[in-house]
């Protein structure tokens, strides 16, 4: 079983091509670290955003916008808060990791 049941046993290393939960990628070398990158997905009215491969693809797209070709040390966190001035509760999932250039 993998992270959030995504990808089964393979999810321990490669969530989607280019996003890795570990700090190393087998057969590749980290040539440059470009720093922390994050992507936030929100939902309203207490509906937790579905954690799917799309959140990891969006994280990788954000990293590519900074010049990276992969994200290592990928982690997820989630939470909720009350939207000011309403009775709505906003839930969110944040994916983050280190944007890197792999050789």
3-state SS, one letter per residue, for the chain: CCHHHCCHHHHHCCCECCECCCCCCCCCCEEEEEEEEEEEEEECCCCCCCCCHHHHHHHHHHHHHCCCCEEEEEEEEEEEEECCCCCCEEEEEEEEEEEEEEC
In the beta sheet, which residues pair with residue 63?
Answer: none
Q: State the pLDDT confidence band at 64, using cuts at 50, 70 and 90.
A: very high
Predicted pLDDT of residue 16: 85
Q: State the pLDDT confidence band at 11, using cuts at 50, 70 and 90.
A: very low
Answer yes or no: CATH 3.30.110 is held by domain 13-102: yes
Average pLDDT of span 55-74: 95
Per-residue pLDDT reduced to its tens digit, 28-51: 999 999 999 999 988 765 565 566
Percent of the chain with pLDDT over 90: 50
């Amino acid at each position: 079983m993998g992270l959030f049941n995504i990808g089964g046993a393979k999810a321990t290393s490669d969530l989607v091509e280019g996003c890795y939960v570990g700090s190393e990628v087998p057969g590749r070398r980290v040539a440059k670290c470009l720093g922390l990158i994050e992507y936030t997905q929100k939902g309203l009215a207490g509906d937790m955003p579905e954690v799917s491969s799309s959140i990891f693809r969006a994280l990788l797209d954000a990293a590519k916008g900074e010049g990276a070709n992969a994200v290592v040390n990928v982690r997820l966190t989630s939470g909720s808060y009350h939207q000011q001035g309403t009775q709505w509760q906003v839930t969110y999932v944040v994916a983050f990791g280190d944007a890197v250039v792999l050789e």
